[in-house]
Amino acid sequence: MDRVLIAQIGAAHGVRGEVRLKAFTEDPMSVARYGALETEDGMRRFEIEAVRPAKDMLVARLKGVADRNAAEALTNVRLYVAREKLPKPADDEFYYADLVGLAAHTASGEAFGTVKAVHNFGAGDLLEIEPVGGGATLLLPFTEATVPAIDLADRKLVVAPPADV
């Protein structure tokens, strides 16, 4: 991937055009260090003029967004940064974008499914896996016990799903 999702704009904050911002970076305040951020389609760019922490989020002032109406129009816009601007992850760290699309296999080599998304609802990362045979996707904890091996070069990972899956 050449761009990575690093933040999502939430609701407007106040009347002067500030927005709530959910950062997907390890250090939430780092979203302001990457320069202009782009929308998913690459058609719009936003520069963060100021950012401050708030309860469970950030509050940001974006260049060119001067009032509440303009801020409200940006609700739920996802913001991306060029991959080369991000630091290289440590050996035991991964960008969510790198995991999406990986083939999931059991330790015995049996095809299990494909990683469709990575979620975090507050209690830790979860891999959403579309099973090989179709049907409802499965959510597996992204822990070393459940995902003991990841091979980004071969675009696959090993899963040890719970017995009831």
Cα–Cα distance, 21 to 26 (Å, whole number): 14
**Considering the domain boundaries, does residue 164 fall inside one?**
no
The answer to whether 77 and 24 have CB atoms below 8 angstroms apart is no
Place of tokens 């992204």: 142
Cα–Cα distance, 120 to 10 (Å, whole number): 17
Q: Could you read off the pLDDT of 47-59 as tens digits, one per residue?
A: 999 999 998 899 9
Q: Could you read off the pLDDT of 3-41 as tens digits, one per residue?
A: 889 999 999 999 999 999 999 888 899 999 999 999 989
Q: Could you read off the pLDDT of 68-100 as tens digits, one per residue?
A: 999 999 999 999 998 888 888 887 788 888 899
Structure tokens at 64: 């060119």
Given 36, 57, 85, which residue is the final one in a domain?
A: 85
Cα–Cα distance, 74 to 55 (Å, whole number): 20
- The domain in which residue 136 lies consists of 96-158
